[in-house]
Amino acid sequence: MLRPFALTLIAMAAAAPPVFAADPPSTAAASATTPAMSVDEFLGKTAVGNKFEIDSSKLAISKSKSETVKAFANEMVKDHGQAAVKMKQAVTDAKVKAPTDSLDAKHQAIYDDLKKKDDIAFDRAYVDAQMQGHVDTVAMFESYAKNGDNPRIKAFANDLLPTLRSHLDHVKKLQTSMGKS
């Protein structure tokens, strides 16, 4: 009786999407235990993160010598540019206050550090920043999509999750190809 049940559980685990299987424990734990943030906090953090993705990726396009890193950076500029347009529309539809469009101190410091690096040191620092940014962002979007306080902004968060998960998967592969795990 237990054997078919155990086999079913194993089959379900094997069929789980690789993005979830590869997520660090902190992502799953964060979305399960983090209290819902306000719409203003969510939008503020989203705007900062989105601006950082675009700005740091433009920097990568100009500084990196790796075609793989440049291709990823171009994808980030394109997708996060589209995300900014979607967020602006969601903010308008929800009739909430638009967040400021500037980096916070943490992201400005990371950006300034990236500007000082070259070659493989730049590529590694850029990919590491993208990795951490996407782990944090996916967890935040999952949490808001599930527990957020504004239906229109929840829909926006849910709409962007597949793209953000794809970015996370892509950056994990890029990081692994550069010799990181």
Q: Distance between CA atoms of 51 and 152, rounded to whole angstroms? A: 21
111-140 pLDDT per residue, tens: 999 999 999 999 999 999 999 999 999 999
Place of tokens 């049940």: 5
Q: Is the pLDDT of residue 149 over 80?
A: yes
Q: Is the pLDDT of residue 36 over 80?
A: no
Interval 152-156 mean pLDDT: 96
pLDDT band at 170 (very low <50, low <70, confident <90, very high): very high
Domains and CATH numbers, the chain: 56-181 (1.20.1260.10)
Helix (H) or strand (E) holding 176, with range, is helix 151-177
Phi, psi of 65 (to 5 degrees): -100, -5
Interval 136-160 mean pLDDT: 96
Whether 94 and 46 have beta carbons less than 8 Å apart is answered as no
Indicate the pTM of the whole model: 0.78
Q: Distance between CA atoms of 60 and 72, rounded to whole angstroms? A: 9
63-84 pLDDT per residue, tens: 999 999 999 999 999 999 999 9
Q: Is the pLDDT of residue 181 over 60?
A: no
